Each structure stands twice: as C-alpha cells, then as structure tokens.
Amino acid sequence: MPDYDFRSTAVVIVDRESNTRRLLRGILARMGVDKILDFASAADAPAALIAVQPDLLFIDADAPDPEGLKFVQGLRHAQAPHNPFIGVIATTWQPTQPLLMRFNATGADDMMVKPFSAKQVQDRLINLIEARKSFVVTADYIGPDRRRQPREGIQIPLFEVPNTLRQKAMGMFDRNKAADAIANAHDAINVQKIVRSGFQVAFLIDFACPGLSAGADRMAADHLIRSGTALDDLMRRLKPDADLRGQAETYAATIRATIEQFKAAPDLPLGGVQPLRAAAIGIAALTSRRADLSLVENEVRGAVTAYRNRLAQLAQAKQQAAAEKEEDKPAD
C-alpha cells in the first residue's frame, strides 16, 4: 500500500448491521484512521456530517426503501449544509441489476460487495485518492461520470471536485483552502444544475402538452407533475438576488398555476396549454441565458421527438417479443 497518512481523515459508517460496522471500524483503525463514527441508520448521520465534516462515507445500499442510496442522492444535491463532495462507498450483500441501477443514479463513487476484506477497503480508498472520477451534472444526477465514452450531441462539462480524502492522506490539507474550493465547486455545479433543470422543465412540459390537451393521458400527467419537481429544484437553487430571479418567478407562477389546475381536474382536457409551453420555453432560455427562443424551442422539440421515437421503438420491440412468444407456444 502507498505511504498515505490517514490519521487526520474522518470517516462515517452507516450500516444497519453492527458486525459490518465493527469490521469496517477495525480495518480503518488498522489503516491509521483515528476519527470514525458509525450509525445504524442514515437518519442519524446528518448531524455528524455537519459537525465532523468527514472525508469518506460508507453507506449500506441494502437499507429499506432504499434509505442509504436516497441519502447519498440528497447529499450530492446539497440538500443539507455539509460537503456534497465527500467520497462515498456503498456496500451491499447482493449487487442485483435493480440495485446497481439505483446506485448509478445516486452519485456514490464506488460499491463494495459484502463480505469484504481489508485489501478491498484499502483498494477503494487508494482509488478515491489516485483515480477519482470527475463529476458530471444532468437534470437528475450529480456525481461521478460513469460514461465509458462521450455521448453525441451537446457536450456536458466535467468537474474535478474537491477531494479532502486525498488532500489529508497526502499531507496537503488546508482547512481554509478546502472550504473555498468546496464553495467554488458548489457554485459552478449549481450554475450547471440550473441550466439542466430549466431544459428539463421545458422538455417534460413539451412532451406532456399534446396528451394534456386530449385529457386522461397518464404519461402526459406524469411528465407534467415531474416538471413541477424540476421547477422546484431550479427555484431552490436560484439565489434571491440573482438577476434571473424576477423573470423566473413569472414563468414559474404560470407553470405552477397550470399544474394546480390540472390536479384539480386530472381527467379533463387541459385548455390553453400554449401559455404553459411558452413559460416552459421561456424558463429554459432564461436559465441558459439565450435570447433566441426559437433556437431553444427547436432544441427542446428535437429532444422530445427523439424521446418519442425511442418509446415507440421500445413498444414495438415489446410487441414483437410478445408475438414471438405467442408463436412459440405449443399447439393445444
């Protein structure tokens, strides 16, 4: 193992199994980690994350609902006043496909399968110190970039976030510089998240509008409700004195009023969707700081068209698979 010094490193362990917590404490203590806190539930961890400002979090991915992974997602989205960039290693007894999908959506750095050895824990820490992935920001995700190769279309910027685990292990940690770096990284990611959320609001609403006009379209309804969640996140991130705030509030008021109108009569066609769509395009243009509304509208419409085509392809493939399965059935 490289000559890293973990004595000043702070680690929090969240796991409902006391044996797992005891095992991890022992391994980390032998590595030289002095400050280790452990909890049986993620509900008990927030106060410790604020008071201790840990550099690394081990969290149980098998917790109910799944409590642990939801906690990580909230952490990455800075929903509480602690460092959203700490290293996070999830643990599980069984890495099923559904669990891996949830893990990938949370922003955790790595996963360990139980039972694990001391070497596995050491390897994970070394990887976080020497080869931590840059972060990416999308409408729904903040965390390590898991893409094997860049996607086509708009290139999403990557962020090398502060890594206090690395700084402390290598004897380079300065509290004031680290605090400034965390604040700067948070501001940069917040700007990108506002842009992504603005586009997401427009995308969801543009997709929903045809179905809302027809009435009783469940998929359209789901997308409209999701647009409200994206809008709330966007407005939460806009500072009260931001230059965009006033106009954003105007657009947001139109969108929220329409959502409430829909909730009051979800089975009836929604009249006057044009102001809703105009407000959605407006907020996407505003948050991306572009004056050409037609260009923004074309981008949103293109994304919606591509999404509809993918849904149609999936439906066709599902129908074809069902038909082939029916043909393979033995005759009575």
pLDDT tens digit sequence for 112-140: 999 999 999 999 999 999 999 999 998 88
| Phi/psi of residue 6, nearest 5 degrees | -100, 10
154/60 Cα distance (integer angstroms) = 35
Average pLDDT across the chain, whole number? 90
| Phi/psi of residue 110, nearest 5 degrees | -155, 170
**The two three-digit tokens of residue 125, written as one number:** 């820490």
What's the N-to-C CA distance of the chain in angstroms? 66
Least confident among 7-16, 59-68, 296-305: 59-68
Between CA 61 and CA 128, with CA 135 as vertex, the angle to 5 degrees is 65
Q: Is the dihedral of CA 73, 196, 147, 206 positive or negative?
A: positive
Write b or e for each residue in 264-288: b if 16 or more Cβ atoms lie within 10 A of its Cβ, otherwise e: eebeeebeebeebbebbbbbbbbbb
Contact 164, 83 (CB under 8 A): yes
pLDDT value at residue 150:
56
Residues 275-288 have a mean pLDDT of: 95
Closest CA to 34 of 56, 2, 6: 6
pLDDT value at residue 272:
78
pLDDT value at residue 331:
60
Model pTM greater than 0.85? no
Of residues 28 and 151, more confidence is placed in: 28
Least confident among 123-127, 160-164, 239-243: 239-243
Percent of the chain with pLDDT over 90: 69
pLDDT value at residue 170:
95
Residues 191-202 have a mean pLDDT of: 93
Between CA 112 and CA 131, with CA 4 as vertex, the angle to 5 degrees is 50
pLDDT of 259 strictly over 90: yes
**Three-state SS at 115:** coil
Contact 108, 97 (CB under 8 A): no
Percent of the chain with pLDDT over 70: 95
32: left (phi over 0), alpha (psi -120 to 50) or beta: left
149's CB contacts (< 8 A; 6+ apart) are: none
Q: How far is CA 113 from CA 62, 68, 121, in A?
A: 11, 15, 11
**The two three-digit tokens of residue 213, written as one number:** 């006009």
Q: 153: pLDDT confidence band, cut at 50, 70 and 90?
A: very low
Q: 81: pLDDT confidence band, cut at 50, 70 and 90?
A: confident
pLDDT value at residue 58:
96
Query: Residue for token digits 């022992």?
Result: 26
Ordered DSSP codes for 140-189:
S-EEE---SSPPSSSPPPEE----HHHHHHTT---HHHHHHHHHHHHHHH
pLDDT of 277 strictly over 90: yes
pLDDT value at residue 198:
95
Write b or e for each residue in 119-154: b if 16 or more Cβ atoms lie within 10 A of its Cβ, otherwise e: eebbebbeebbeebbebbbebebbbbeeeeeeeeee
Write b or e for each residue in 179-205: b if 16 or more Cβ atoms lie within 10 A of its Cβ, otherwise e: eebbeebbeebbebbbbbbbbbbbbbb
Contact 109, 88 (CB under 8 A): yes
Contact 310, 261 (CB under 8 A): no
pLDDT value at residue 149:
61
pLDDT value at residue 155:
62
Q: 332: pLDDT confidence band, cut at 50, 70 and 90?
A: low
Contact 3, 32 (CB under 8 A): no
**Three-state SS at 218:** helix
Least confident among 17-21, 82-86, 191-195, 323-327: 323-327
Residues 303-326 have a mean pLDDT of: 86
Q: 66: pLDDT confidence band, cut at 50, 70 and 90?
A: confident
